[in-house]
A = this chain, B = another copy of it.
Amino acid sequence: MGQLVDVFARRALLVVKGANVPRGVNDLAHRSETTSATAVGFEPSAKAASLLNKLKHFMHAHVYKAEEELEAHAITPERWSVSPAVESLKTAAKSAGLWNLWLPLDSAALLKIRPNDGEESTLFAGPGLTNLEYAYLAEVMGASVWASEAFNCSAPDTGNMEVLLRYGSVEQQERWLRPLLTGEIRSCFAMTEPAVASSDATNIESAIAREGSDYVLNGRKWWTSGACDPRCKVIIFMGKTAKDGSGVAKHRQQSMVLCPMDAPGVRVVRPLTVFGYDDAPHGHAEVTFTNVRVDAAASILLGEGRGFEIAQGRLGPGRLHHCMRLIGMGERALELASARAKSRVAFGKPLAENGAVLQRLGQCRVTLDGARLLTLQAAHELDARGIKLARGAVAACKVAAPAAALSVIDAAIQIHGGAGVSQDTPLARLYAGARTLRLADGPDEVHLETIAKMEIRRSKL
C-alpha cells in the first residue's frame, strides 16, 4: 500500500505545480479519446462528409428557393404536368455531381469497372456509398418533399432501379434501367391491392397467367405511386404465377414482371389522396390490369416464383431510406419551429421565452436525435451484417423515425398556429407524408411484433 501513497503524493505534486495535468471544470469529464485506436460513434466518412457539404449547399442554393413555386404548381389544375422547376433542379444536380447518390457501393462498382467508361456513365453510377454514408445525405434530402427527385433518389425509382440492376437481363436493363439512371423516364411498382392486407406480401391476388409465350396480367392495384406521372413508362407488376393448392409453396407463388405503362389493358383509375394531397404529378394511383399481355421471356424478373424474394430484398434499404428522410423532415420542422419561436411575439414576449415552448422544443430535439441514432445504427448493421441480421434494427427505426418525425412536425404546427396547417409552411405536407410512413412498407404493428418476437426468443426464461 505504500506505493499508492507515493502515487498520490506525486499526483498532488503535479496538481500543485499545475504542470501537465489538465485543470478546470472540464477536466473531470474530458477523458482522452486516445485509448482506443478505433473511432467510435457516428460521423460521416470523409467521402460522405464532402458530399454532404455539397448537398447542403445545393439545398439552400436551389431546392428551398424552388419550394414556393413547386407548392404553388402543386395546387393548380395544371399540377398533373411536370413543373419545369423540377427538371431545372435535376439539371443543376447533375452538374453538381449530386446524382444517383443512393446507388450502393457494389452496384456502383459494377457500373464503373470498364476501363474506357466515359464521364457520363461515371456520373450515372453515382459516388457509390454504403447505407450509412447515404443516410446522412438522404436525411438532408428529406427536408424538402421535392428534393429526392432532383437527385434521382426518389422512391419508387430507386428500388426499381436496384431490382433491374440486380436481376434484370441485358435487354431489360438497356430498355428500362438506362433511362431511369439518367432521369429520362420514371417507373412505378404495382404490388399493394385494395382487397387484401398488403403487409403480408403472400396475400396478393393479382394473376400472371401464362398463355403461350405471353403472360396475361389481371388485377386491381393501388398505392402505385408515380403511375400518374407523364414520364412514368414502366411498371414492375407483382402477381401470382401459381395458385394456392397448386402444390407450390406459399412464398414461391409470386412473380414480378415488367409491364410498359402504355400496354393495352392498363388503366390508371384515379389518384388517391393523402390527407388531401394528391402529390401530383407523381400521384398514388389505383390501377387496373385487364388482360394485359406482355412477352413472358422479356418481362419476367429473376424467374417465376421469385417475386417474394425480390420484394423482401427491395424493402430493406427502401425502409431505411424512408427513415433517413423522416429524420430530415423532423429537422426541417424543428428548424422552422425554432425560428418561429424566436420571431413570433404572443402575449407580450417572444414564444422562445415561454417555458412551455422551450420544453417542447427541447423534447423535439431529444426525440429526433434518438430516432436518428437508431436509423444510423440500422444503416450500419445493414452494411455490416446484411438484412437478415439487421432486421431488428431496421424494424426499430421504421417504428421510431415516423413517430419522431410526426411528434416534431406536430409540435412545429402547433407553434405556427394556422400557418402550420396551410400551404405557407411545408409542415402539413410533411406531416401527411410522415403519417403515411407509419403504414407504408409495413405498419408499426408488424414491425413491433417482429421486434417483440426476437426479444422473446432471446429470453432465457
Known A-B contacts A40-B42, A444-B414, A453-B358; the reply to A104 vs B31 at CB < 8 A is yes
A112-126 vs B, Cβ < 8 Å mask (1 yes, 0 no): 111011101100110
Contact assessment for A431 and B12 in the assembled complex, using a CB-CB cutoff below 8 Å: no
The stretch of A127-135, A148-156, A211-219, A289-297 in contact with B is A127-135
Known A-B contacts A3-B121, A130-B35, A380-B41; the reply to A355 vs B352 at CB < 8 A is no
Q: Is A21 an interface residue (CB 8 A)?
A: yes
Contact assessment for B443 and A414 in the assembled complex, using a CB-CB cutoff below 8 Å: yes
Known A-B contacts A276-B274, A439-B418; the reply to A26 vs B373 at CB < 8 A is no
28 A-B pairs in the complex with CB atoms less than 8 angstroms apart: A1-B120, A3-B118, A4-B111, A4-B181, A5-B174, A7-B125, A12-B173, A13-B170, A22-B106, A24-B313, A25-B313, A31-B104, A32-B105, A35-B129, A35-B133, A197-B347, A222-B418, A273-B276, A273-B421, A276-B277, A276-B428, A358-B448, A361-B456, A362-B452, A363-B448, A365-B392, A365-B452, A414-B443
Most buried by B among A129, A419, A451: A451
Task: Give the shortest distance, in Å, between A277 (CB) and chain B (any CB).
Answer: 3
Known A-B contacts A105-B32, A338-B456, A451-B365; the reply to A346 vs B424 at CB < 8 A is no
Task: Give the shortest distance, in Å, between A11 (CB) and chain B (any CB).
Answer: 5
Q: Is A263 an interface residue (CB 8 A)?
A: no
Q: Contact size class for A?
A: 35 or more
Residues of B within 8 A of A455 (CB): 334, 338, 361-362, 364-365
Task: Give the shortest distance, in Å, between A439 (CB) and chain B (any CB).
Answer: 5
A331-361 vs B, Cβ < 8 Å mask (1 yes, 0 no): 0001100110111111100001011111111
Residues of B within 8 A of A222 (CB): 418
Residues of B within 8 A of A111 (CB): 4, 7-8, 11
Task: Give the shortest distance, in Å, between A150 (CB) and chain B (any CB).
Answer: 21
What CA separation (Å) do A359 and B47 show in the bound complex?
Answer: 39
Task: Give the shortest distance, in Å, between A388 (CB) and chain B (any CB).
Answer: 6
Contact assessment for B31 and A448 in the assembled complex, using a CB-CB cutoff below 8 Å: no
The stretch of A81-89, A92-100, A160-168, A235-243 in contact with B is A160-168
Given contacts A342-B459, A342-B461, A362-B452, 17 further A-B contacts (CB under 8 A): A4-B118, A7-B111, A7-B117, A13-B170, A14-B110, A24-B313, A31-B104, A39-B40, A40-B42, A40-B132, A272-B423, A275-B429, A338-B455, A359-B359, A366-B374, A370-B373, A414-B444
Residues of B within 8 A of A141 (CB): none
Residues of B within 8 A of A386 (CB): 26, 29-30
